Structure 1
Amino acid sequence: MIYKVLASILLLLVIIGGWSWTEYQSARNTLAVPGEQVSIDIKKGDSFDNITHKLIAQNVNIKPFWFKVVAMQEKATTKIKIGEYVLKGGMTAPELLAVLVSGKQKQYSITFPEGWAFKEILQEIAKNSYIEHTLTDSTIDFSALMAKLKVEKNHPEGLFFPDTYFFEKNTTDIAILKRAYDKMQVVLNEEWGKKEANLPLKSPYEALILASIVEKETGAKVERPLIAGVFTRRLEIGMLLQTDPTVIYGMGDNYQGNITLKDLRTPTTYNTYTIKGLPPTPIALPGRDAIVATLHPAAGDSLYFVARGDGSGTHVFSASLKDHNAAVNTHQRKAN
């Protein structure tokens, strides 16, 4: 009788063991994430059970007990990091846990186009709901902002590289600006080290100022060295730059889409029709192409240029005022 009881118990243990092994293997190898992908946001203080319930709420195919067993086997129960994660469709439980342990969070993006002013950067940041906002219109003080960025300059214009930046949810606005600033420093210093000799530019910052003007004058990559050449020659001979984008920048909110003769004659610290040399700061974000063009200006004798006015975005270049006036007459007045 004892042998029969023992045999029955042994058989039951074998059955339970076999079932447990089957369940465990199923928990490890069954595809857990349905569809293309799901997202999960793990917050500070979430327990493993909380995380499990969040996954189940997203229709992830897991059984709490066996999922925890798998997690313990993978030594993942206490290693899951806070953040927002994307779990790809077709992942198994171990693969899912590996993502949560890795800390490789879901990425968002923000883009700062070439030619933007700093106020446009701030507007773009302000409307991005995935960024943690520490800057507000009422508290932004340029000196305080630059101190936060650990930048010696007092004015932020032009110091941030135009690019697309990827970031994790709740990254601060200051952190994103710091990345853009650091990238601009890398690009500017790289290109400054390869510049043409004898340029009338005393520092990388002066190159940045001129590059911002080149950026605003043309969107045609092929023309940037030509325009940089005009401004370089003007600086060399002490001729006023006389570039409209600086006038517009100096007008600020007073600019309503047109520049009058009065605007050209009204002095501001940026109006290069009335000031000699470069304005005090950049006027926009220059891209790498504009920086390269500024540091490698095209040779020639042209001192003037005027837009063709045909929608091409290109210009006619002239060496004399007489030829320039003729080009203005042909292209601008005809276009108007």
Structure 2
Amino acid sequence: MEIFNMKKTLVALAAVAVAGGAFAQATMTGAIAFGFESDTTSSNVTTSGFGMEDAEINFAVSEDLEGVGKLSAGLGFGGGGSGVAVTSNDSNITLALSNGMKVIMKSAKAAEYLTGGVAGAGANFEADLTNAGLLTRTRNDSVGVSLPVAEGTTLTLTHTESEVAIGTGSAANVGILQTTTTTAATVQPYNTVVLGYKAGGLVVDAQYRSYDRQETNSTVYANTKNRLSASYDLGAAKIGAGVDTTMYTYGNSNTKTLVGITIPMGSLTLGAQMLNVTASGNATSSSNYTRSGALAGGMYSLSKRTYLTGQYYTSDVGGTSNQTGYLFSLYNTF
């Protein structure tokens, strides 16, 4: 499982090359985690056990380009316990120009917008509400341009496709779109405009997205998406809230709202999130619903590199009872 919040920035390799006025630096970071998880489905079936939760290694390199700016790139690999196949993690290339503009290219499974973003206020120390079955995360290829437009304000334009072989785009990928329905449809590429603002303890993120490759009058092919989230750091606590609405070509919608809070208490940080999901405008009343989920937990730092996490999550996924689970882990980073 990926690590959502721990910043792994210790330098293990440095000063790789100095040539022609350009300086390149490489870093290697990683993490190992062992834990216990128990999950009970809405049908009251419980699975639990110990295991290696995370074992990953990440490489990053940066280089100053004289008269241009700075190029940085990174890639990673991860697996689980002994004998588990190693797979690639996120990879990225960023060109930061001297005028402040950035060109960002990446293949990544990004954090979920609400629970893992600004609105979540950092409360998903280990698991997030994707574990509870109400949210999803997907792996995508994207290229974007980020521009500073005013003090503390950034405008970003991004084109995103499903992660498949180069030259294929989203044409060959089939999956589930931005909804909890089990109906499958071709994954759609999309374009996103993001306006970000930071000032003091305030962070605001607003997004508008339009989808390509639409099918008319469909309850699963997306048309547009609107997102807005914000958080404020009070010092004694950080609070956040956000909304994520997807409109489909049939005219139906799926709206998710979330509030989050974290409370730092020295070596211990506590946090909680509450989520609401509403589907409306569908052709059949059974496809319209309101469901909810929540998580609570904490992280205790034993040192700068080692910490303990624990979380409990629950959700209403439309079954005979709530889906619940808890997860405890010991992490060591390097």
TM-score range, shorter chain: under 0.3
TM-score by length of 2: 0.24
Normalising by structure 1, we get a TM-score of 0.24
Higher helix share: 1
**Higher percent of residues as strand:** 2
